[in-house]
Amino acid sequence: MSTTPHSTTRVAHTVWDGSLTEGSGVVTLDSSGIGEYPVTWVARSQEPGGKTSPEELIAAAHSSCFSMALSAGLGKAGTPPTRLRTQADVTFKPGTGITGIHLTVQGEVPGMDEAEFVKAAEDAKANCPVSKALAGTEITLTATLA
């Protein structure tokens, strides 16, 4: 079994029917096969009403990527986490676009003080691949130990 890192490509697709404001779509996660998710402009620009949005999907991607990056960094420092809980809040303003992302992480990391944890979290925020992909958006962070 090879341990050499290799590139991966993940695939999702959306089928959209109708106009922006009256139409609707379905996002399918093809690579994993774990689901289809309805999307509408109303769900994106007002209340979700049981539907998702590009911003929610970005929040899911960012919170999971950041958690992996932070876990890796803490492990390399000899202080692997017991648990990390990361929330990503992606703000969308119709007519403007995505105006910011705020990451909030609470960690259980034995043997680490708050200042060390915040420093590790800032490094993960700057270097996780999703943060890098979203570099055109202001990303802020709140990091605390449990």
Q: What is the pLDDT of residues 70-93, one digit of tens each?
A: 999 999 999 999 999 999 999 999
Q: What angle do CA 137, 139, 142 make, to 5 degrees?
A: 165
- How far is it, in rounded angstroms, from Cα 88 to Cα 58? 9
Map residue 18 onto helix, strand or coil: coil
pLDDT of residue 1: 54
Angle between helix 54-76 and 114-127 (nearest 10): 130
pLDDT of residue 5: 78
- How far is it, in rounded angstroms, from Cα 43 to Cα 40? 5
Task: Give the type of residue at 68.
Answer: M
Chain centroid offset of residue 78 CA? 25
Do residues 74 and 80 touch, judged by C-beta distance below 8 A?
yes
pLDDT of residue 115: 97
pLDDT of residue 3: 65
pTM value? Answer: 0.93
pLDDT of residue 116: 97
pLDDT of residue 53: 97
Q: Which residues, 6 or more positions from 64, have their beta carbon under 8 angstroms from its beta carbon?
A: 86
pLDDT of residue 2: 55
pLDDT beneath 70: ranges in the chain = 1-4
